[in-house]
Amino acid sequence: MSDISNINFPLIEEKIVLIIPAYEPDDRLSALLEELRKDFHGRIVIVNDGSGAKYDKYYETAKDYGCVVLNHFANMGKGRALKNAFNYCLNEYPGITGCVTADSDGQHLPEDIYRVMQELCDNDKCLILGCRDFSHEDVPFRSKLGNGFMKGACRFMCGVNASDTQTGLRGIPADFMTLLLNTEGERFEFETRMLLDARDRYPLKEVIIQTVYESKENHQSHYNTFKDSVRIGRILAGVFVKFVISSLSSTVVDLLIFNALCPLFKPVTALYYITIATVIARVISAVYNYTINYKIVFKSKDSVGRSAVKYFALALIQMCLSALFTTVGVFLIPILPETLIKAIVDVCLFFISYGVQRTIVFK
């Protein structure tokens, strides 16, 4: 058991509300509440997300432990359960620092919940994540795979750098709870949208927690690996798709101009015609692409001058690399047309460019 001697229980009991969404719970919920009440005597809100009558005994036990139970008539999803709990807490407990959310299936130990509560009290303008160690041998393969995919996708596509993107143990400031009431997502995808909404508003702070699973075979989860992953994938695709459309359209402009200019300059200079055509095509397409990215894709609040300098510096570097690698490709593989080689080169540079634009140019 982790050391909890540094936990200020009077403070976290006054400032933090613990929220536990619980769909079709079992004895693990009762066991968690029993352990929590040995040290924590603050407010706990349980959400019965349409579990049905046969689960009523677990919610009655929760009431015996002094918990507030909010009831959904039908299953509405984890996202809706959390938002309804946020709304209840903001109305009923004015002045709180925020809330900590935890799962009902025993994955989050009381001492780790306390540590996240304390971290939120100490950093009330941050989103606190209780992050699991996925290298542990007891972690089910599907959890390792899902977290690995989400971690990489969130980092590359959205600029969210979290080691555990799907953790249900989170410390959420009260003003962020207010913003999240209007965040889209009714099921597990809501937690991904929460990470996206935290960007540039609430820095992420991680608390390493113990990884708990009963066994690889017996671990039960209401997370549907396929359906919920598709929902989350759509969110990430939504963030990324505008950049893809902008880049593809500017690439079409670039290729059309390049294809038109090559026959004009090839008779003049056999060695440099590709470079000349590349420069002219890239300048025109870069102006087009910058305008779309600044106003629509990234909706930058930076000054036009500052972002333009960074963007065109990137475009210049990218243009040089495109010309260099296309020229090398033409000489190495003369049977392929210049346009095809250039297209292959620019696809590779595209992914690099996206990362640079997201993190530096339009940050």
Query: What region, left, alpha or beta, does residue 50 occupy, with left being phi > 0 and alpha being psi -120 to 50 degrees?
Result: left
Domains for the chain: give ranges and CATH numbers.
Answer: 9-223 (3.90.550.10), 238-361 (no CATH)
For the segment 30-56, what is each residue's pLDDT rounded down to a tens digit? Answer: 999 999 999 999 999 999 999 999 999
For the segment 136-154, what is each residue's pLDDT rounded down to a tens digit? Answer: 776 777 777 777 777 877 7
Backbone angles phi, psi at 30, to 5 degrees: -65, -40
Dist. CA 103–CA 93, nearest whole Å = 21
Question: Which pLDDT does position 244 carry in this prediction?
Answer: 87
Query: Could you tell me the pLDDT band of residue 275, with boundaries at 50, 70 and 90?
Result: confident
Dist. CA 162–CA 105, nearest whole Å = 23
DSSP, collapsed to helix, strand or coil, labels residue 29 as helix
Q: Which position has the higher pLDDT, 281 or 237?
A: 281
Roughly what angle, to the nearest 10 degrees, separates helices 225-265 and 338-356? 130
Question: Which pLDDT does position 110 carry in this prediction?
Answer: 95
Query: Could you tell me the pLDDT band of residue 228, with boundaries at 50, 70 and 90?
Result: low
N residues, the chain: 363
For the segment 73-127, what is each residue's pLDDT rounded down to a tens digit? Answer: 999 989 999 999 999 999 999 999 999 999 998 889 999 999 999 999 999 999 9
Contacts of 97 (CB under 8 A, 6+ apart): 15, 16, 120, 121, 124, 173, 174
Contacts of 350 (CB under 8 A, 6+ apart): 247, 251
The whole-angstrom distance between residue 97's C-alpha and the CA centroid of its chain comes to 23
Percentage of the chain with pLDDT > 70? 91
Question: Which pLDDT does position 219 carry in this prediction?
Answer: 46
